Each structure stands twice: as structure tokens, then as C-alpha cells.
Amino acid sequence: MFANPGQPSPEDNYRVRLGWASPSALKDSPNGQLFQDVKKRFDEDLAELGLKITDLAPPNADRWPGLAAVVAALKVFPVTWK
């Protein structure tokens, strides 16, 4: 799921958002329509702030409550966006 499972990248934030939007979509269709919708909304929100996805820090389970389970789940999926 992560571009590099040993070191998450800023783009992995899309997958975290998808996992929060729908854990089943993260598992069943990690690059499907819901992912595309989540990514589009996320990019629009970032653009309003004058940011890009690469301006964000990679997901870090140590700094966000509840993220540890999402990060662990993401590591079992193959990379689909690269």
C-alpha cells in the first residue's frame, strides 16, 4: 500500500483518508472510484490552502491517535498508484 512500506511518503496520506472514509473500500478497491473522489477532494482542500500533497508530512502513527491501526492495515496492500 505504501510506496515504500519501510518509509511512508506524503502521498500515503491519500490512502489514510480513504481508510477513514471507508475501510472496506481500502481493502476491496484501493484505487477505485471512492479513492479517486477522496483524492480529488483532498487535493481541492489542499489547493485552497495553497498546498500540495508533497507539502504534507507522511502519515505517522506515533503522532495521531487511531492511526496506528490504519498504518498497519495499509502495509499489507500492494502499491496501486505508482
Rounded (10°) CA dihedral 10, 46, 63, 80 = -40
pLDDT the model gives residue 56: 86
Look up the pTM and report it. Answer: 0.64
**Per-residue model confidence as pLDDT tens digits over 51-77:** 998 898 887 767 766 767 777 777 777
- The C-alpha atoms of residue 42 and residue 68 are separated, in whole angstroms, by 21
pLDDT the model gives residue 43: 94
Question: Within its chain, how far is the Cα of 55 from the centroid?
Answer: 14
